Amino acid sequence: MMKFLKLDRQSIVFRLIVLIISMIIGQAVLLSLFLIVGGVLSQAEQNAYNSFSEKVSNRKDYLQREMTSRWTNISPYGKEISLQYNADKNPDQFLSDISTSLITMLRSTQATGVFVILNSATDEKPALYIRDYDPLLNDYTSSDLYYVYGSANLANNLKIPLDQMWKYRIDLSTMNADFYNQPASKVSLSTDPTLLGYWSLPFKLTPRDGPIITYSQPLFDKNNQFIGVIGVELSEQYLSKYLPGTDLQTKDSYGYLLGFRESHSQQLETILLTKSIQERFTHEGEPLNYSSIDADHSIFLLKNSNSQSKLYLAVENLDLYNTNTPFESNQWYLIGIMNESNLLAYVYRIRNILIISFIASVIIGVLCTYFISYRFTKPIAAVARKVKESTAVKAIKLEHIKLSEVDELLDAIQITSNMLLETSGRMSRIVEMVGLPLGVFEYRDDSEAVFFTDQIPILLSLDDTDTEIIMANKTLFIALIDKLLSTPEESEENVYYINQIPEKWLRIKHTQNDHATIGVILDMTDEMSEKKKILVDRDTDPLTGIYNRKAMQLQIEATLANRDLKKVSALLMFDLDNLKFINDTYGHKWGDTYIKHAVRHLSEIEPSRQILGRRSGDEFTLFLYNFNSQEEIRSCLKDFFQNLIDNQLEFPDGIIKPITISAGLTWINETELTYDDYLQQADELLYKAKRNHKGYYCEP
């Protein structure tokens, strides 16, 4: 397949392959159109939606029966408890009297908890609240029950252990009290408790308690006066057992969740998650964002999913309330969730079969066509490869392949190539006659060969072997040019420094057009050497070899601007003592010797951290920088003056005496002073030294 991708689009092999592939693709497209138009894929997709909707609908029917028949079957027990109510009784006594009935209701409904909360004027209300954390495992001794709210004496009499969050009274102000307040607020509408039943949204009795859902009804006495609320509790953990995710998928199922929509809202909110994986795309109380896929079967696509694959929802309404009841507008929903890869697995299987069949047909067609055409085009390809691999150094010779038209073409290529080689040689000879150290090169994008004149190997210091290799390998030549271009000469355009012995500078310019790169290389060594010499003479004092006044100022100003502010720097002005006396006594030649001897000692003061220049005949400026402390600089100066004493100069008359020099030192601080400002300070301190400490230095 990779060879096919590299084939020339104008080649015979390529055109034959394209023809066969076009025929195969046409047949495959026709077959696919027949399947699509015939509705095979769309029907398979519809069947998947139908099956998904049916599974969720069956689970909805089962859950709805449990919620409306078993868990809401508390009216008989409510009537029995109402008949036992006596307003004159102590609330604890009344709750003790109904405890047996309440436990019987707990066993009958198979809920995780039952409760009776009596009406009172405060939020803390008398209550009897009993739990069974595992209703499916009943113990006739009540040892499996827990006492949540009510009198501790009653719990002791019933032999029911107190729950870890037990309290004597239930404080409705510490929780979501809708399970009590909602049915209690509707007692004026009817005295039939079954019409006023209310399913609460998940809430917690205490912050450490697990989430629960309750169903509650109002309690009336014999005179139809509201006395409290009776109800059952279902823990979220227990309710989740009625919503097994294996209904939808046997493995990696997203499972079910419960949704809720209020009468005044269009948003469907999640109120119960049954699997931790569901927290990736929603949390309890958050609205679901979805779009319709199949309205007839209530199939939707979840929009706010964080999953890598698409998630589909099947939504079924739970009819928990009768018509014309106070809470019928509160709609509960059972929502099944499946990812796209599982829901539409059969559809994708059909689609993949079509794709694999299509790809296999194309591959077989390509291979067959390639092998058939290969035998025909092999001789032509061999000749083309030989032409491509030929170099510009030697004349090309092509053998005939016994195809008349192709043999004539090969003869024309051979003649043209050899003429080009001769033309290149003539160009080199013309450049040599001009007398310029100039070379020309050229290489093309579609060839590995490099053409250049005879001067290029000389300019690039290539021997015959390297020249032959580079002419046949464009990549090596480009790498060599790129290496040269990596060392440009500062302040010179297109001039590059070649670090070899002797030093060399080359001017290199190249341009690209029409898929070819042409360039020239000119030897600039003589011109650049002369420029370097002129620059050195411009910046150097001819007598001492150190910076002259202008160059010294430029160097110090540049160092001042970029110095390390955490380090210590100093500027010193030096003046040779007795220079006029030396000139007058021994002559100017000895005066020059005196100056050079002093400069030699000045140059030895921390050479790597100094800038030294001659300001005038007997005045020198020294800039010391990047020292750790002032004491370090003072120590260097002390050694300098001691060296002058230790290395005295012998004069023509045999007198031996040291060079004496006075200096003024100013410290470089962080204030915005200029070079001239520091120089003025050092100059003033110099003349102070000459007046008071001649032969040494003075500092502020």
User: Which pLDDT value is given to residue 346?
Assistant: 80
> pLDDT tens for residues 524-557?
777 777 777 777 777 888 888 899 999 999 999 9
pLDDT band at 418 (very low <50, low <70, confident <90, very high): low
d(Cα 227, Cα 87) in Å, to the nearest integer?
Answer: 9
Domain count, the chain: 5
215 in the same domain as 80: yes
| Digit-coded pLDDT (tens) for 86-134 | 888 899 999 999 999 999 999 999 999 999 999 999 999 999 999 999 8
The token pair that represents 124 in the structure block: 């803390």
Please tell me which of 210-214, 379-383, 396-400, 457-461 the model is most confident about, judged by mean pLDDT: 210-214
| Mean pLDDT over each residue of the chain, to the nearest integer | 84
Same domain (yes/no): 625, 482? no
338/361 same-domain check: no
> Which position has the higher pLDDT, 343 or 38?
343
Q: What is the pLDDT of residues 386-410, one digit of tens each?
A: 666 565 555 666 677 666 766 677 6
Which of these ranges, 360-364, 660-664, 684-688, 694-698, has the smallest mean pLDDT?
360-364
Does the pLDDT of residue 462 top 70, yes or no?
A: yes
502-505: Cβ within 8 A, 24+ apart: 503/529, 505/529
Q: For residue 460, give the amino acid letter.
A: L
Judge whether 329 lies within some domain. Answer: yes
pLDDT digit string, tens, across residues 206-218: 999 999 999 999 9
Q: What is the dihedral of CA 494, 499, 505, 509, to 10 degrees?
A: -30
Q: Are residues 549 and 601 in the same domain?
A: yes
Distances (CA, A) of 227 to 90, 103, 272, 506: 13, 20, 31, 108
Write down which residue in 474, 507, 528 finishes a domain. Answer: 528
Q: Which amino acid is at 219?
A: L
550's CB contacts (< 8 A; 6+ apart) are 539
- Kindly state whether residue 393 falls inside one of the protein's structural domains: no
Read off the pLDDT band of 568 (50, 70, 90): very high
Any domain includes 641: yes
Write down the pLDDT at residue 1: 47
Strand order in the sheet with 619-627: 610-614, 619-627, 568-576, 661-668, 697-698
C-alpha span between 170 and 93 (Å, rounded): 17
Would you place residue 423 in the very low, low, confident or very high pLDDT band (cuts 50, 70, 90)?
low
pLDDT classification of 343: cutoffs 50, 70, 90: confident
Q: Convert the pLDDT of each residue in 29-83 to its tens digit.
A: 776 676 666 667 778 888 888 988 999 999 999 999 999 999 999 999 999 999 9
Work out the percent of the chain whose per-residue pLDDT is above 90: 41
Q: Which of 334 and 366 is assigned the larger pLDDT?
A: 334
Please tell me whether residues 157 and 269 are part of one structural domain.
Answer: no
CATH number at residue 143: 3.30.450.20
* pLDDT (average), residues 335-339: 89
**Phi-psi bin for 152: left (phi > 0), alpha (psi -120 to 50), beta?**
alpha
- What local confidence, expressed as pLDDT, does residue 390 receive? 60
What digits encode the pLDDT tens for the residues 269-324? 888 888 777 777 777 777 888 888 888 888 988 887 677 778 889 999 999 999 99
Residue 609 forms part of a structural domain: yes
Residues 7 and 149 in one domain: no
pLDDT at position 443: 84
Asked if residue 523 has pLDDT above 90, the reply is no
Range of the domain at 325: 47-61+244-343
**Same domain flag for 53 and 85:** no
Residue with tokens 């795309």: 281
For residue range 468-501, list pLDDT tens digits in order. Answer: 888 888 888 888 888 888 888 777 788 888 776 7
For 430-479, the DSSP string reads HHHHHT--EEEEEEETT-S-EEE-THHHHHTT--HHHHHHHHT-HHHHHH
Residue 563: give its domain's CATH number.
3.30.70.270
| Two structure tokens written together for 308 | 């890598």
**Summary count for the chain: helices (H), strands (E):** 21, 26
Give residue 384's pLDDT: 65
* CA–CA distances in Å: residue 455 to residues 205, 438, 507, 680: 96, 6, 14, 58
178 and 285 part of one domain: no
Could you read off the pLDDT of 599-641 as tens digits, one per residue? 999 999 999 999 999 988 889 999 999 999 999 999 999 999 9
- The pLDDT of residue 401: 66
Q: Tell me the two tokens of residue 332.
A: 């509960």
The CATH number linked to 261 is 3.30.450
Residue 348 lies in a domain: no
Q: What is the mean pLDDT of residues 143-147?
A: 90
Q: Is residue 470 part of a domain?
A: yes
pLDDT of residue 4: 46
Q: How far does Cα 376 stand from its chain's mean position? A: 53
pLDDT score for 38 = 61
Q: What is the pLDDT of residues 150-176, one digit of tens each?
A: 999 999 999 999 999 999 999 999 999
Q: Are residues 558 and 679 in the same domain?
A: yes
Instruction: Identify whether 400 is part of a domain.
Output: no
Can you tell me the distance from the alpha carbon of 249 to that of 341, in angstroms, rounded to the nearest whole number? 11
The mean per-residue pLDDT over the stretch 139-148 comes to 84
Residues 688 and 582 in one domain: yes
Rg (CA), the chain: 51
Domain shared by 211 and 299, yes or no: no
- Separation of first and last alpha carbons in the chain: 85
Helix (H) or strand (E) holding 613: strand 610-614
d(CA 125, CA 184): 13
Distances (CA, A) of 192 to 197, 573, 682: 9, 113, 109
666 and 692 co-located in one domain: yes
In a domain? residue 646: yes
How far is it, in rounded angstroms, from Cα 92 to Cα 99? 10
